[in-house]
Amino acid sequence: MKRQNAQTLGEAIKVFLAEKKAFNRKLLENRVVSSWGEIMGSTVASYTSNVEIRRQKLYVTLTSSVLRHSLSMSKDEIVKKINRALGDDVVTEVVFR
């Protein structure tokens, strides 16, 4: 007997995530944190000591004040770069500490 409403596991997961927006948002936020080094490059990653997201605001702790100042000048471009890499508007603002 063949089911008419059969779907693949991947399709079922996509439907589940679409219905659970908060869960999907958390997954995307975790992807930002885990891929910070890939998105910004190894040089920036080597001077980064902590990355976290709260309420769509990305907080990045840097060990270099020169790099912090340099990145602060291009916050808008960094937000665009992160959101483009993830394919969704996950981050609205970046705060460098």
Sole residue written with tokens 């605001």: 57
pLDDT tens string, the chain, 97 residues long: the values are 566 777 889 888 878 877 777 778 888 999 999 999 999 999 999 999 999 999 999 999 999 999 999 999 999 999 999 999 999 999 999 999 9
The answer to whether domain 9-96 has CATH 3.30.300 is yes
Position 2 scores a pLDDT of 62
DSSP 77-89: HHHHHHHHHHTS-
Position 13 scores a pLDDT of 83
pTM of the complete model: 0.78
